[in-house]
Structure 1
Amino acid sequence: MTSPLARAIDHGQQPNFDSLRLFFACVVVFFHSFLLTRVADPYAAKILAINPGGLAVDGFFLISGYLITQSWLADPSAKRFLARRVLRLYPGFIVASLFSVFVVGPLGADAHAYFAGLDVRRFLRGLVLLHMPETPPVFAGTTAQLVNGSMWTISFEFRCYLLALLCGLAGLFSQRYLLLALTVAIGIAVGGYVPPAGVAHPQHVLFGINALRVSDSIAWFAALFMVGSCYARFRDRIGFGPVRAMLACAMFVASMFDPVLLRPAVLLVGAYALFAAASAPAWWKSRKTDRRADLSYGIYLYGWPIQKLLTWYVPGIGPWMIFASTLLASAGFAFLSWRWIEKPALKLKPATRLAFPRPCNGPIAE
């Protein structure tokens, strides 16, 4: 029997990926609201193995693996694939970087000293490589003295796109059991790693605190991405019953208290729960992706700089107030980014030349 997720896509309907990504972006803003105000996160304080922001980033990579694989399957052309990936990530990233460096930066420091110490060549190189902006000292005396600490994951996202390109060119996406075997191998390699004591999650300590274990980060993100790819390739074989989804959620929640179980649980039951949510009929029925603004990328890009400015100019602001204020402000920036930057860039994407005689991949959200 065909799964609900496969039936949704086969009938040209977009599952709940956009809604889930928007939710994850809001969770990242929520986590940073406590991090940047030095207030203990009431949820992360109880879930010792990981923080909400870390889980949200993991969810982004799982969904990305699914959608990017679907994109390759719809049109397996390296040139067109890379063009779509560049047009999706770079325009929004470049504008948000310019805003962070040339507007937020001088507002969080002495403007004259800031611009005198700004290395423009390094900044431009960072734009090309999708690196988090490096600037002279800003927001002195505050937590995470960065103009945009959320941007560190974007380069890893693009690296996973390149991984998908390699898998596509190597024929792994057409040999799904070989893809599954490779994913299992990667999952075993990184799933058994237990973060050192005192570190919530190795790939999330780069949120402005300590740059630690970058090589482990790309391996972990690659594992998440590949799991998403497997769900895309086996979507016709995976069913999402409510009982199984609830059981997966329960098992995943239990694992969040144990750092030994956490990573395997994210790759197994966490991924299943996520794609079960993506296939829920009540979410995607009668919705058309092209009629809605996709705000998740913009909220993710603009949330951090807005939060830093709030904590800098409104001393003593509480985490809940900064969370609500940032959501409103970043949603506005995200809408402008979507309307005037991201959407026009996506219109430049090369037309898809379907690799199948029927629209079995539906609309591609990436």
Structure 2
Amino acid sequence: MLGTLRLLLALAVAASHTNLRMFGLNPGVMAVVGFYLISGYVMAGLIRRHYSQGAQAPAFYLDRAIRLLPQYLFYAGLTLAWYGFTQANTQFLSHAPSAGDLVNNLLIIPLNYYMYNGSDGYTLIPPAWSLGAEVQFYLLAPWLLVWPKRLLAFGLLSLSVYLAALAGIINSDWFGYRLLPGVLLFFLLGAWLQGLHQQGQQRQAQAMTLGVAALATLAIGLLFINGNLRQPYNFETLLGLIFGLLLLQALATRPRTRWDGLAGDISYGVFLNHFLIIWTFYPQGVSSSQLPGFLALSMALSCLSQRLVEQSLLKLRHRFRKTH
């Protein structure tokens, strides 16, 4: 049932970029944490099933490129064409692109470091900064996920960075939500849960999930007392961790249905296309009454791009996995 969960998270990200808030909190932040957890879970299963040897890392990277790049390049190309035609400046398209801007968008990873390189001044797909974090996780994943001691060591290092961000010692937005040293923790928690499920250790998986949720709840209480809970995205990332992990535990082992698969297929396009839709059809912003139509349009366009751009590559990717 992870396809349905991914679509709901993508819709939450899209809605958050219309300035939708829930009790003053940003639902998109919680959704991104959920994506990190799911990615760690799914990549752990993929690597352990198909790419468990270090020598197979290049094949894993190619598998991920076939999955991520076609729709990403499709929507990036559409946005570049839209900008060339309209010459409309936005917050994330604030100037004519330089060669460096185009390289940043092509490589994706530099977008994750916008706070250092200024790449957010020309980002064709603004949420792609989180794809940059995900791609970096992919680069590490074959060397981490099949060795429990490495997973534990890197998890503890990332936990220390995340705790420093929560405490305000380092920037809570950058290191608690965006940059890999802090958010690697979320990917690895998803991977840990997958390992427990794969080994049939359902009680241990439930205990782990409830234990992490309890610790995150305790952290919320302590941060509320010392005044750090309202530091940028502390509350949202902790809530995203609690609810994301509980949902992952509840849904990951349920049988996948046809409709769940369709929802999962649509989710990536929604994540990629909603800014282009806002810029094109809602330049004055999306009102609450327009939100359902906006989300429906995003899903419809995603269905089209998934069918035209990605569907032909699905069988190729599956055949590729079988050979490894």
Q: Which residue of 2 aligns with 1:58?
A: 33
State whether structure 2 residue 246 is matched by structure 1 residue 277: no
**Structure 1 residue 64: Cα displacement:** 0.3
Question: What residue identity is the alignment partner of 2:125?
Answer: N
Q: Distance in 2 between matches of 1:161 and 1:90?
A: 14
Greater RCO between the two (CA within 8 Å, min separation 6)? 1
State whether structure 2 residue 255 is matched by structure 1 residue 255: no
Residue among 237, 247, 268 paired with 2:201: 237
Q: Distance in 2 between matches of 1:189 and 1:222?
A: 10
Q: Distance in 2 between matches of 1:118 and 1:104?
A: 10
Q: What are the equivalent positions in structure 2 for 1:7-18 lying under 5 Å apart?
A: 16-18=1-3
Residue among 78, 84, 93 paired with 2:57: 78
Q: What are the equivalent positions in structure 2 for 1:138-177 lying under 5 Å apart?
A: 147-167=124-144, 173=146, 175-176=147-148
Q: Distance in 1 between matches of 2:97 and 2:86?
A: 14
Q: What are the equivalent positions in structure 2 for 1:97-112 lying under 5 Å apart?
A: 97-104=76-83, 106-107=85-86, 109=88
**Structure 1 residue 277: Cα displacement:** 3.1
Q: Sort the Cα spacing of 1:154 and 1:253 in 2 relative to 1 into closer, same or farther, 3 A.
A: same
Q: Which residue of 2 aligns with 1:193?
A: 165
Q: What are the equivalent positions in structure 2 for 1:314-329 lying under 5 Å apart?
A: 315=284, 318-329=286-297
State whether structure 2 residue 44 is matched by structure 1 residue 69: yes
Question: What residue identity is the alignment partner of 1:228?
Answer: G
Q: Distance in 1 between matches of 2:123 and 2:290?
A: 17
Question: What residue identity is the alignment partner of 1:352?
Answer: R
Q: TM-score, normalised by structure 2?
A: 0.74
Q: Which residue of 1 aligns with 2:18?
A: 33
Q: Distance in 2 between matches of 1:107 and 1:195?
A: 44
Q: Distance in 1 between matches of 2:43 and 2:206?
A: 25
State the Cα deviation string for residues 286-327 of structure 1 (Å, max 9, x = none): 547666661111000001121123332xx4x55313422321
Q: Which residue of 2 aligns with 1:306?
A: 277
Q: Distance in 1 between matches of 2:247 and 2:125?
A: 28
Task: Could you tell me which runs of 5 or more consecutive residues in structure 1 were left unpaired when the two chains were aligned.
Answer: 1-15, 35-40, 134-143, 204-212, 356-366
State whether structure 2 residue 66 is matched by structure 1 residue 87: yes
State whether structure 2 residue 190 is matched by structure 1 residue 217: no
State whether structure 2 residue 301 is matched by structure 1 residue 336: no
Aligned 8 A contact 1:302 1:334 in 2: yes
Q: Which residue of 1 aligns with 2:107?
A: 128
Q: Distance in 1 between matches of 2:163 and 2:31?
A: 18
Q: Distance in 2 between matches of 1:237 and 1:354?
A: 29
Q: Distance in 2 between matches of 1:309 and 1:253?
A: 44
**Structure 1 residue 190: Cα displacement:** 1.9
Q: Sort the Cα spacing of 1:183 and 1:251 in 2 relative to 1 into closer, same or farther, 3 A.
A: closer
State whether structure 2 residue 190 is matched by structure 1 residue 228: yes
Q: Distance in 2 between matches of 1:267 and 1:331?
A: 23
Question: What residue identity is the alignment partner of 1:29?
Answer: A
State whether structure 2 residue 5 is matched by structure 1 residue 43: no
Q: Sort the Cα spacing of 1:196 and 1:321 in 2 relative to 1 into closer, same or farther, 3 A.
A: farther
Aligned 8 A contact 2:29 2:236 in 1: no
Aligned 8 A contact 2:269 2:305 in 1: yes
State whether structure 2 residue 320 is matched by structure 1 residue 351: yes
Q: Distance in 1 between matches of 2:195 and 2:2?
A: 17
Higher Cα Rg, which structure = 1
Q: Percent identity?
A: 20
Task: Could you tell me which runs of 5 or more consecutive residues in structure 2 were left unpaired when the two chains were aligned.
Answer: 113-120
Q: Distance in 2 between matches of 1:25 and 1:249?
A: 26
Question: What is the aligned residue count?
Answer: 294
Q: Distance in 1 between matches of 2:240 and 2:80?
A: 36
**Structure 1 residue 335: Cα displacement:** 0.8
Q: Distance in 1 between matches of 2:240 and 2:288?
A: 31
State the Cα deviation string for residues 116-171 of structure 1 (Å, max 9, x = none): 944356414531345559xxxxxxxxxx996532222112111110010232xxxx
Aligned 8 A contact 1:131 1:155 in 2: yes
State the Cα deviation string for residues 84-113 of structure 1 (Å, max 9, x = none): 111011111111100111115533528xxx
Q: Sort the Cα spacing of 1:186 and 1:26 in 2 relative to 1 into closer, same or farther, 3 A.
A: same
Q: TM-score, normalised by structure 1?
A: 0.67
Q: Distance in 2 between matches of 1:29 and 1:345?
A: 26
Q: Secondary structure at the match of 2:165?
A: coil
Q: Sort the Cα spacing of 1:311 and 1:22 in 2 relative to 1 into closer, same or farther, 3 A.
A: same
Aligned 8 A contact 2:9 2:34 in 1: yes
Q: Sort the Cα spacing of 1:125 and 1:273 in 2 relative to 1 into closer, same or farther, 3 A.
A: closer
Q: Distance in 2 between matches of 1:263 and 1:324?
A: 24
